[in-house]
Every structure is written in structure tokens, then in C-alpha cells.
């Protein structure tokens, strides 16, 4: 199970154009092909924070001319568009490798709790990064909720409920088991809930893709979860003078560090929490690394490995 960070597909410092995203996606596939070379069965989900943020910004700028879409539908749209870019790039790579495997993208719904605490306390970063001065202007104009993510880097935040149930799991597992490469629960999945009549309804939120990947990994009975982010390893005292790489952890160590508040919420914290969930439900190991370090991480020379 591979959780592919949204920034692996969209450059932080770029314009966010489709040409840029396709170029970045093709580069990402070159690194992911290491798993194909090893004949792994693969399921991929991906982030969509930069992309869904851009969708919302477009609507904020054009709402007088075009009726805005709800956030859940923006997730569905980006799930389709990003899935298309990954799928096409993977198909082209497989042709070059002379490998006959199908790539399938599933538009996936994920059930959440309508009363999840995150609806009252939004904490999921989306969209571009801004200086405090610039984002304050946008937040006043468009009524955004905002939060500082890094030094002088501010972003918009939205609700991010926990995934309770990944839909279409049996179909995803059947495809993965037959050797198809499946892209599912993109952007964490389209958040839905069951109303009082038992019918599904969409909800305005974005689900953390790492949590969904951990749950989906359980469903397909994956033995490994790879969390691909923009940092090559997990670090203690990250971005401080005494920063040190964590090469290996067991589940108990990871749990203790997480519960002691070692890892920043909105950054490494959710990734460690997702790793803990995956390992508690019979996963073998979790690797956290960057897209360019996959080959080294497969050899144990990069990344952070967490095992039971």
C-alpha cells in the first residue's frame, strides 16, 4: 500500500499548472517503478491538498459568474484528475518496461462521522502556501480559516474527519490480488455519511490520505505501507540544530513518541498515527520516506522503518 503525498505530484514552488503536475507525476512514477521491478502487488492512494485548494480558490475568484461546488465534490474532481495523471503515467511506464499489467482508478467514497470533532476544529492544510500578510487579505476576502504550517508559511485549513469505513474494499482487493495496479481513495476519499434514512450524503471536508491508506492497507491485507512525503526520513527535533534521523522504530517506541507530542500535528504526526494503526492490525512494516529515496529505502539505506 503506497500513500503518495500531494507534493510528489505538485511542486510547492511551482505554478500548479497541469503541465507541471504531469511532469512531476511522470518523475514520481520513475521512482515508483522500483516496486514494479520487484513484482509487488500495488495499491496507491494520493494526497490532493494543493490541488483541491486551487479548486476552491478558483471558485472563490469566480463565484459571481459560476455557481461554487461543495468541498466534497472538489475532492471527487481532484480524485479523478489526479488519478488520470497517475494512471496514464503508469500505463506509459509499463509499456516502456514491456510489462502487461492494467492500471485502474476507482472513484472512492469513505464513510465518516457527521459529528466528528474536526467539523468544529478544522485542522487540514490545503492549497498554496502564503506569507501571513498575503493570506490575511485572502482570509478576510473569502472568509477562510487559516493556520501557520511552517516558518512564515500559512495555509487555509478545512475539516478533516477520521475515515471510519473505506467503501469498495472488496473490489479493490480483487483487482490488487489479480495484479492490477489500483489507484483508490485518492485525496483520502470522498467524505460521505449515512443520514437518518440510511442514505449516503456528501459532506464538506477533506480526509487525511495517510489514515485512509492505513485502513485500505488493512482491507487489501497489505504487508507493507509506504508513506511518501516531502521529507526523506522521520527526525527528532526536526529543523533544529540537534535534528537527528530516526532510522528504525518499533510500534511501542513510535506510540510513546507520538503520545509525548514529539511529532507536529498537520505534518509528521498523522503519518505516525497512520503507521500505528496499520501495524496494530497485522501490518508487517511501515516505511516513511521521500519519493526520490524509494530505491535507497528499499535497501534500508534511507527513510524510517517502523515495525511491530
In a domain, 265, yes or no: no
Tell me, yes or no, if the pTM score tops 0.85: yes
215 given a catalytic annotation: no
Q: Examine residue 28 and state whether it is found in any structural domain, yes or no.
A: yes
Domain that holds residue 191: 2-53+70-112+163-222
Mean pLDDT (whole number) for 3-29: 86
Kindly tell me if the per-residue pLDDT of 14 is higher than 80.
Answer: no
Comparison of pLDDT for 59 and 227, the residue scoring more: 227
**pLDDT reading at 266 higher than 70:** no
On whether residue 91 sits in a domain, the answer given is yes
Question: 105 lies in a domain?
Answer: yes
Domain assignment of residue 183, yes or no: yes
Using the predicted structure, report yes or no on whether residue 151 has a pLDDT greater than 70: yes
Comparing CA positions, the residue from 159, 89, 171, 81 lying closest to residue 126 is: 159
Check: CB of residue 262 under 8 Å from CB of residue 235: no
Percent of the chain with pLDDT over 90: 73
Percent of the chain with pLDDT over 70: 99
Total domains present in the chain: 1
Residue 80 inside a domain? The answer is yes
Q: Would you say residue 167 lies in a domain?
A: yes
Three-class SS of residue 106? coil
Determine whether 153 is an active site residue: no
Q: What are phi and psi of 242, to 5 degrees?
A: -100, 25
Instruction: Examine residue 43 and state whether it is found in any structural domain, yes or no.
Output: yes
Catalytic: which of 271, 283, 293, 303?
271
Q: Is 6 a catalytic residue?
A: yes
- Which CATH number do you get for residue 186? 3.40.1160.10
Is 7 part of the annotated catalytic residue set? yes
Residue 271 among the catalytic residues: yes
Which residue among the candidates 5, 24, 72, 124 is catalytic per the annotation? 124
Q: 63 falls in which pLDDT band (50, 70, 90)?
A: confident
Selecting among 5, 6, 83, 186, the annotated active-site residue is: 6
Given the residues 45, 49, 72, 209, the one annotated as active site: 209
Amino acid at each position: 500500500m503506497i500513500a503518495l503525498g500531494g507534493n510528489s505530484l505538485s511542486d510547492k514552488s511551482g505554478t500548479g499548472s497541469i503541465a507541471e503536475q504531469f511532469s512531476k507525476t511522470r518523475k514520481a512514477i520513475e521512482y515508483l517503478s522500483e516496486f514494479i521491478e520487484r513484482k509487488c502487488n500495488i495499491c496507491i492512494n494520493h494526497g490532493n491538498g494543493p490541488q483541491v485548494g486551487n479548486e476552491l480558490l478558483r471558485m472563490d475568484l469566480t463565484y459571481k459568474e459560476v455557481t461554487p461546488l461543495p468541498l466534497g465534490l472538489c475532492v471527487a474532481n481532484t480524485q479523478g484528475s489526479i488519478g488520470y495523471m497517475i494512471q496514464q503515467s503508469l500505463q506509459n511506464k509499463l509499456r516502456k518496461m514491456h510489462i502487461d499489467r492494467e492500471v485502474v482508478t476507482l472513484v472512492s467514497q469513505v464513510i465518516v462521522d457527521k459529528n466528528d470533532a474536526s467539523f468544529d476544529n478544522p485542522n487540514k492544510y490545503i492549497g498554496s502556501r502564503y506569507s501571513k500578510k498575503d493570506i490575511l487579505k485572502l482570509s478576510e476576502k473569502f472568509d477562510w480559516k487559516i493556520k501557520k504550517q511552517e516558518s512564515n508559511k500559512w495555509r487555509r485549513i478545512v475539516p478533516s474527519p477520521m475515515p471510519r469505513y473505506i467503501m469498495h474494499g472488496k473490489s479493490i482487493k480483487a483487482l490488487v490480488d489479480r495484479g492490477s495496479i489500483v489507484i483508490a481513495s485518492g485525496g483520502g476519499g470522498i467524505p460521505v455519511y449515512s443520514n437518518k434514512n440510511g442514505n449516503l450524503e456528501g459532506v464538506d471536508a477533506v480526509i487525511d490520505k495517510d489514515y485512509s491508506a492505513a485502513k485500505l492497507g488493512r482491507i487489501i491485507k497489505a504487508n507493507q505501507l509506504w508513506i511518501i512525503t516531502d521529507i526523506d526520513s522521520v527526525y527528532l527535533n526536526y529543523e533544529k540544530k540537534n535534528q537527528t534521523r530516526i532510522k528504525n522504530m518499533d510500534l511501542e517506541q513510535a506510540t510513546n513518541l507520538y503520545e509525548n507530542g514529539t511529532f507536529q500535528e498537520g505534518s509528521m504526526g498523522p503519518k505516525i498515527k497512520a503507521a500505528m494503526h496499520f501495524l496494530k492490525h497485522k501490518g508487517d512494516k511501515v516505511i516513511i520516506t521521500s519519493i526520490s529515496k524509494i530505491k535507497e529505502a528499499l535497501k534500508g539505506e534511507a527513510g524510517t522503518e517502523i515495525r511491530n
